[in-house]
Amino acid sequence: MEQISFQQLVRNKFSDLSAGQKKVAKYLIENLNQAAFKTAFQIGRHAAVSETTVIRLSYALGFEGFSEMQTTIQQGLIQENQAENEYSIRLPFRNSDPFKRVILNEIQLLKQLINRANVEEIWKAVDAIIKADQVLIAGHMLSHAAAYWFSYMLGSIRNHVTLVSPTGEFFEKFSNLTKESVVVVFSFPRYSNDTIKLAEFVADNEVCLISVTDRLLSPVGRISDIVLTTEENAETGSNSIASVISLVDLIIEGIHEKDQERIHHHQQKLEKMYSSFNVFND
């Protein structure tokens, strides 16, 4: 089989799965560490389906059986753990100081950004954005802050970057896009219906869709061409803006790495305008 992560394989096949198989797939994606060493019967019990449905899922994903699927999951976890250990920081996870506890949680979340599957998707996003003639960025409610930050940072290194405001104007701006354009949506719980509808419209019109979201099988993650994920905060169950901004910074850094000459010319033009209008108090 093609060497892609189990999570990515599930996302690629998800729309073709039966209702029962989708329940198993969701359970596996959200509980990989625990499910990696459970029997098909145990997984079926946790996912509220039969053992047979679990086995059928393995065939639907292209494996020769449950054992091969489980081995693939285990191998993926080993690779991710090896990558995380390279960046491990030995700090006590529990601490009575609430501020230290927040910082330690952020460290755990940031470490998870460098797993193999995420890094591969980040480079795909970098390449798509560099090649795009235009980039449209959207995020509603809590996700709008991250969308604004990304649009500002991306707009400082390339032309034709547009942010959709929470109040609308999406269709007017979308009408200017082409098949070479890219739309980036930010979507975190509680998922905004406006963002989901917007993403569905982009996917239906076959424009490249990149989603920045909390999990691979989130409503926008299922339909996106490229999915970049951050994990929920282990302590609070909420999403960390620090990890989202860090993920965005990784994309910007990747573009810097691959598109230096064009960025240099763009920033020279910006600096001339900043100077002409006395934008900054240096």
Residue 163, pLDDT score: 94
Residue 117, pLDDT score: 67
**All domains of the chain, ordered by start, with CATH?**
6-86 (1.10.10.10), 111-273 (3.40.50.10490)
Residue 1, pLDDT score: 44
Q: Which two tokens stand for residue 94?
A: 């529990």
List the chain pLDDT tens, one digit each, 282 residues.
Answer: 446 788 889 988 998 999 999 999 999 988 888 888 888 999 999 999 999 999 999 999 999 999 999 888 888 877 776 655 555 544 445 556 777 777 777 777 777 777 766 788 999 999 999 999 999 999 998 889 999 999 999 999 999 999 998 776 788 888 989 999 999 999 998 899 999 999 999 999 999 999 999 988 999 999 999 999 986 544 444 567 888 898 999 999 999 999 999 999 998 988 888 888 888 876
Alpha-helical runs (H) found in the chain: 6-13, 19-30, 32-35, 40-47, 51-60, 66-86, 98-111, 116-131, 144-155, 170-174, 193-204, 241-258, 260-276
Residue 90, pLDDT score: 47
DSSP string, 227-279: EEE-PBPTTTSSBPHHHHHHHHHHHHHHHHHH-HHHHHHHHHHHHHHHHHTT-
* Closest to 248 measured CA to CA, from 274, 206, 197, 210: 210
Rounded CA-CA distance 192/147 in Å is 14
Q: Find the angle CA(76)-CA(80)-CA(85) to the nearest 5 degrees.
A: 150
* Closest to 138 measured CA to CA, from 203, 184, 190: 184
Residue 258, pLDDT score: 94
Residue 75, pLDDT score: 84
Rounded CA-CA distance 197/203 in Å is 10
Q: Cis link prior to 90 (omega < 30° from 0)?
A: no
Residue 236, pLDDT score: 47
The answer to whether the CB of 102 falls within 8 A of the CB of 93 is: no
